[in-house]
Structure 1
Amino acid sequence: METVTQKSARLEFTLRAQITSEQRQRLLMEMGARLNAEQNQTQLEKRRRQDAEFFAAMEAALAPAHKIEQFTIKLDRYETATVQALMDNERDTLAVRKEIDAMLLKAHTLEDGRRVFKSEDGVRVFDEHGAELKPADVAPESISDEKPRAEAYFERRTEERRLVEERKGLHDYQTKLDTARERVKDPTLTENELSALDKELGQSVPDRVRKLVGDRTGGQSIDAAIAPEAGDVPAAQDRLRLPVQPAFQPG
């Protein structure tokens, strides 16, 4: 038969065993929580490091402020030259059309109102639209040698068409300049994108604009010509938009 002393000893042993088990469970929970916290901290530090590396890479890729400033000065100079080119084109177009009008006034006129021109060799006749007439319609010898010749007239018409096409190209280039100016305002513009813009504008610059910039800088290359000089900040230019006029239509 178990004595009171034996029962007390067994109870004390059981209580001690239970306390030890609870402590062990608490310790395991604390260790697990600490491990999770360390893992979370490691992940947080990793994310922070990755974010820092990303922003550092972005900062390195973005176009530097001084290059954007230099490119903006280039845009100003391209734009100024383009405005001047449009003005010169308009002047030349008006001059050519004046010559064409004068030739048409002096041209030999048929009974049906058509104005015709004899070739330099005196054997062919063309109307003002380029259609060749048969000798049965008009004999070349019936046209005075003092009248404007076909070659001179059509050369002026060809020049007129060239000037109209040139003006269209100048307006297209102005649009490119406007687009580039808006693009450089984007804070996410990269240095590679800025270089691509610079290259595109340099390669597509119209001949008349290129000549104006080259003439103004002693015949330097276009890139050297528009490179900013110390303290050189051109005044803002008001863009001139010249309307594209239709080709001359005879009355």
Structure 2
Amino acid sequence: MALTIFDEFNVKALSPQALATLVARQATTRSYAVQKNEADNIRRRDDERRRREEGQDAEDIVFLMAAVYHETQMRMIARFDEDAEASRLAMAKIDKRLAELEQERLAMVERAVKLPDGRAVFLSEDGKSIFTEDGEKLPEAEAERLLEERGDELRAGYSSERWKAVGDERGALVAEKAALAEWDAYREELKARVAGGEMTQDELEEAERDYEESVPETVKEMRAKRDAAELLSEKQTATRDDGIAKQAHAAPADDAIDLTGTSVEREAPAAGAPRGVPKFGM
């Protein structure tokens, strides 16, 4: 018996065997389509997962780079602030020494012999030459005349070598103070750039290296003193805390210990009785 199959294109009469073949072919076609669709779905899900992972990796990298950048910024800014204080202390030390030298210069000028034009003069340590306060050596004839007239006063005053040493030290300190002030300005300008995020990570690291190379010796000395003071303070704190901990864990000698499960009554010992002996209640 033949069956008639209708579709939109053809009208065919199929035998049962042909119909079975057609059904099997259609089933195979549907199975292939299902498998292909499932494979496409799996591939699409894999692609989406890979894109998400790649996006997450990129986010992680960006986050890590930002964290490293921020850490570098904070480390450098903290160093700038510490060195600003160290520089202030160094500047104060210079000012103190300059004040001491100025007092010494005034004392030297007050004791010195004066020329008619008001300039102070100083005798050399060997007693053979006389120099003015501005370093000019007096002609031999004039020096001999001064030695003859006021030799005792010249010898009682400061030597020309001491006067020059004070002047040289003062000049060096003035120059050091000017250089320190210039470095302070450089440090603050660099701090503003670092805090403003104007540089890349590589530029930050290069600026940090350059900065460390620029630190004046006086600031390094103050750094070392500060670090030593902090270390000493930490050691003192640790020693004190250790002593407190030991004292807290040590049992007092007169603590009563109940070994029988009965109550322990603490009271003042009788006359002649040893301290620390518990009285067990009945």
TM range (shorter): 0.5 to 0.7
Q: 1:63, CA displacement in angstroms?
A: 5.9
Q: 1:64, CA displacement in angstroms?
A: 1.3
Matched, 1:78 2:83: yes
Matched, 1:161 2:171: yes
| Superposed CA offset, 1:24-43 (max 9, x none) | xxxxxxxxxxxxxxxxxxxx
Structure with bigger RCO (C-alpha 8 Å, 6+ apart)? 1
Q: How far apart are the structure 1 equivalents of 2:100 and 2:190?
A: 33
Q: 1:128, CA displacement in angstroms?
A: 0.3
Q: Which of 117, 120, 124 is matched with 1:115 structurally? A: 120
Kindly indicate whether the alpha-carbon contact (under 8 Å) linking 2:73 and 2:195 is maintained by their aligned counterparts in 1. Answer: no
| Structure 1 residues without counterparts, runs of 5 or longer | 1-52, 220-251
Kindly indicate whether the alpha-carbon contact (under 8 Å) linking 1:63 and 1:192 is maintained by their aligned counterparts in 2. Answer: no
Q: How far apart are the structure 1 equivalents of 2:103 and 2:214?
A: 31
Residue type matched to 1:146 in 2? A
Please give the secondary structure, in 1, of the residue aligned with 2:85: helix
Matched, 1:187 2:197: yes
TM-score, normalised relative to structure 1: 0.61
Moved over 6 A (4+): none
Residue type matched to 1:190 in 2? T
Q: 1:60, CA displacement in angstroms?
A: 4.7
Matching of residues 60-209 of structure 1 within 5 Å: 60=65, 64-139=69-144, 141-142=147-148, 143-144=151-152, 145-209=155-219
Q: 1:112, CA displacement in angstroms?
A: 3.1
Please give the secondary structure, in 2, of the residue aligned with 1:148: coil
Please give the secondary structure, in 1, of the residue aligned with 2:195: coil
Query: Does the C-alpha gap of structure 1 residues 64 and 181 become closer, same or farther in structure 2, counting only changes over 3 Å?
Result: same
Please give the secondary structure, in 2, of the residue aligned with 1:116: strand
TM-score, normalised relative to structure 2: 0.54
| Structure 2 residues without counterparts, runs of 5 or longer | 1-57, 230-282
Q: How far apart are the structure 2 equivalents of 1:188 and 1:206?
A: 25
Kindly indicate whether the alpha-carbon contact (under 8 Å) linking 1:117 and 1:149 is maintained by their aligned counterparts in 2. Answer: yes
Q: How far apart are the structure 1 equivalents of 2:227 and 2:67?
A: 31
Residue type matched to 1:151 in 2? E
Kindly indicate whether the alpha-carbon contact (under 8 Å) linking 2:130 and 2:137 is maintained by their aligned counterparts in 1. Answer: yes
Q: How far apart are the structure 2 equivalents of 1:157 and 1:98?
A: 12
Q: How far apart are the structure 2 equivalents of 1:188 and 1:149?
A: 57
Q: 1:185, CA displacement in angstroms?
A: 2.4
Percent identity of the aligned residues? Answer: 24
Q: How far apart are the structure 1 equivalents of 2:195 and 2:119?
A: 57
Kindly indicate whether the alpha-carbon contact (under 8 Å) linking 1:62 and 1:188 is maintained by their aligned counterparts in 2. Answer: no
Q: How far apart are the structure 1 equivalents of 2:82 and 2:94?
A: 18
CA RMSD of aligned residues (A): 2.7
| Superposed CA offset, 1:150-184 (max 9, x none) | 00011000011011001101101111111111111
Q: How far apart are the structure 2 equivalents of 1:147 and 1:165?
A: 28
